[in-house]
Amino acid sequence: MKTNHEYDRPFHRQPWWDYSAPGSYFITICIQNRERLLGHIEDGEMHLSPYGEIVRAEILKIPDYHDRAELGEWVIMPDHIHLIITLTEWKGFDIERPAFRWQSLTTKEYIALRRRMLIPKIIGKFKMLTSKQINILRGTSGQKTWLHNYHGHIINTNTKGEYERIARYIRKNPENWEG
């Protein structure tokens, strides 16, 4: 089912950014074909389906994925999720993180490197674990649960109030649903 929703477009991330860098990231991941699999909204309140409960439980485990990952505001909607993941500073290293010469990389080289970055690894693990559990419950082995791509916005800490503006958007998402 196709809807006029602001995320019905290709999802992109900032090109040439190190997605292992400390900072806060606003992530949106949509269900395949925008199927309203995760529950429904009634009177501005989200009611999770059993599949939505699987997603909720796994969102809460994200800080366990890596010691630098902190979970900020999040919400589950009928056909997508929003969450803020903050990566803290690198700890326990005797040497500095190597600097990449982004300008010298080809697009193919950057994409290969990005797959090893922390945010894509966290999202990949989350999608894999939730898809597996949802497919077991549905009896649909191997079926795609999530869209291949996702939207990742780097929250600018130099822009006053940007983090809180995004957190408020996430909190109010069920109230503003026009599904």
Return the percentage of the chain with pLDDT > 70, whole number.
80
Q: What is the pTM of this model?
A: 0.83
Tell me the sheet residues that pair with 26: 84, 153
**Domain assignments of the chain as residue spans, ordered by start:** 23-176
| Phi, psi angles (nearest 5°) of residue 49 | -80, 175
CATH number of 23-176: 3.30.70.1290
Residue 25 near residue 54 (C-beta atoms within 8 A): no
d(CA 171, CA 161): 15
pLDDT tens per residue, range 84-136: 999 998 775 444 455 555 556 777 776 777 677 899 999 999 999 999 999 99
